[in-house]
Amino acid sequence: MTGSRPLPADPPPTERPPDFGSFIRERHRTVGTVVQPRMGFSDPATMRAGLLATKAAAAATAGTLTVDSYTRVGDLRAVAEALTAGIGLNGYPIAHHDAAITREVLTGVQSESFAVQVRHGSAAPFDIVTSLLAAGLSATEGGPVSYCLPYGRTPLAESVRNWEASCRLLAHSGETGVRPHLETFGGCMLGQLCPPSLLVAISVLEALFFRQHGLHSISVSYAQQPSLEQNREAIAALRRLCGRFLPDVEWHVVLYTYMGVYPTTANGAYRLLAEAAVLAASTRTERLIVKTVAESSRIPTIEENVAALEYAAAVTGRWARDRSARDEPKDAMAPGSGDSQTYLEALRLIEAVRELDDDLGKALTRAFRFGYLDVPYCLHPDNQGRCRSYLDDSGSIRWADIGSLPLGGIVESSDARQVGSAELLGALSYVRRVYDGDAIAGRTGSAGDPTAAHLPAMPRCASGGLPGQPIGS
């Protein structure tokens, strides 16, 4: 906290902030998939302008306050140094700014008709949760595993303790204020090359952890992967597993637009976003987090964020209209509930972890020690790192080596080969290549989706229609 800025004598009246979980479900029911940016600026005035622009966008939106990396690792001194030197941060330093300042940012923004979530990425989120509650916010995201393993070197057991305390703090706030909401980040992990079943399992396990510590309004995440088929299986599995393991929780699904190496061209970026939007609409996904044309190179501007939100909403809107024109029942394209490979693997992983201890935190810590959970390519000291994955010719992510994962009998491990730098970069850039348009013929991944022909016109930006630097600069 700066402590130096005086509190306004008369704090501006804040409208009653909405309950994030109910807000999203209600919006989804009446309008369709809610779209949300990953937006964060260090300057409070810019942050406020970004939230207002999100609210005013021609789309059903939710607002985001993304926290900067220094705050994520608890280095508030570096935040102060950057702000003094006028260096822009990659997010909003919520624990640095006085709560009064954040409340001003939110005045007239958060209202019955607009909910805001804080997105961070911290294995020690107590101060962030304290700050967001003090500012009148009640929704955030993360998890003891997903905000530890991919986010640095905090020991897993320590992250679990930190998240237990933070969950309790958040849950407690609901006794006097708005019902708090927490989203798992487990459906993303390192963003790429993680088999979808492991993403689904971690997402559900984190939701169980949240519930154990008193939260009853939860969203479960899944990040779009290269294969449409795997994506549809994963979202269906997530719904089925939540239905089974979280009967007393109000939950919804949130899809993240592709979290790996992003296309560099505007066309490629929008096609990939459209793919995510169609996936969301066709799987009844309640909320979609978008990516912008600047994703591959730098922090996006407010205008680029708004363009992405409006485009994604146009795609989901078009999809819904096309469906009613085709006179299809609402759930016609919704994935079925069969025992897909993704579902079977995720179920086995969840059950194996739950058997380790009644306490989810202890179970998760032991699961990583035993290698029952093991994230491919993750360098964290508490990750065994014995599993390997690869992209097959259709863009599906497969296991090359299951290490000690309890998947014997359901997964055939192929021979794990040593991968070189060029091959790794090739796999990481597969989606970029496909969507930037120079993919090897026949390897179109999910880009070959027939719906692509019916997409609304893309925002004008390659031709300089949007401010900001040239894409991929």
**Span near ligand B12 by CB under 6 A; candidates 48-56, 188-196, 232-240, 241-249:** 188-196
Q: Is 86 helix (H, G, I), strand (E, B) or coil?
A: coil
82 binds, among other proteins, ligand B12, none (CB under 5 to 8 A by kind): other proteins
Name, in order, each residue with C-beta under 8 angstroms of 46's C-beta and a sequence gap of 6 or more.
Answer: 302
Q: What are phi and psi of 107, to 5 degrees?
A: -60, 125
Name, in order, each residue with C-beta under 8 angstroms of 13's C-beta and a sequence gap of 6 or more.
Answer: 107
Beta carbon of residue 448, minimum distance to ligand B12 (angstroms, whole number): 22
Site string for other proteins, 259-278 (x = CB under 8 A): --x-----------------
**Which listed residue (421, 441, 457, 464) binds other proteins by CB under 8 A?**
421
Kindly state the DSSP code that residue 150 receives in the 8-state scheme.
Answer: G
Name, in order, each residue with C-beta under 8 angstroms of 5's C-beta and a sequence gap of 6 or more.
Answer: 98, 100, 101
| 446 lies in the site for ligand B12, by CB under 6 A | no
Beta carbon of residue 178, minimum distance to ligand B12 (angstroms, whole number): 25
Q: How far apart are CA 248 and CA 374, in angstroms?
A: 29
| 438 lies in the site for other proteins, by CB under 8 A | no
Q: How far apart are CA 302 and CA 230, in angstroms?
A: 32
| 69 lies in the site for ligand B12, by CB under 6 A | yes
Kindly state the DSSP code that residue 378 receives in the 8-state scheme.
Answer: -
Q: Is 108 helix (H, G, I), strand (E, B) or coil?
A: coil
Beta carbon of residue 32, minimum distance to ligand B12 (angstroms, whole number): 25
Q: Whose CA is closest to 302, among 105, 14, 41, 4?
A: 41
Q: Is 385 helix (H, G, I), strand (E, B) or coil?
A: coil
Beta carbon of residue 311, minimum distance to ligand B12 (angstroms, whole number): 17
Beta carbon of residue 370, minimum distance to ligand B12 (angstroms, whole number): 23
Q: How far apart are CA 208 and CA 211, in angstroms?
A: 5
Beta carbon of residue 329, minimum distance to ligand B12 (angstroms, whole number): 36
**Span near ligand B12 by CB under 6 A; candidates 23-31, 174-182, 185-193, 450-458:** 185-193
Interface with other proteins (CB under 8 A), residue total: 39
**Span near other proteins by CB under 8 A; candidates 74-82, 168-176, 394-402, 450-458:** 74-82
Q: What is the DSSP string of 151-187?
A: G----HHHHHHHHHHHHHHHHHHTTTSSPPEEEE-TT
| 380 lies in the site for other proteins, by CB under 8 A | yes
**Which residues within the stretch 243-262 sit at the binding site for other proteins (CB under 8 A)?**
261
| 134 lies in the site for ligand B12, by CB under 6 A | no
Q: Which positions touch other proteins (CB under 8 A)?
A: 68-70, 72-73, 75, 78, 81-82, 85, 87-90, 121, 150-153, 190-192, 261, 294, 297-299, 377-380, 419-421, 424-425, 428, 469, 473
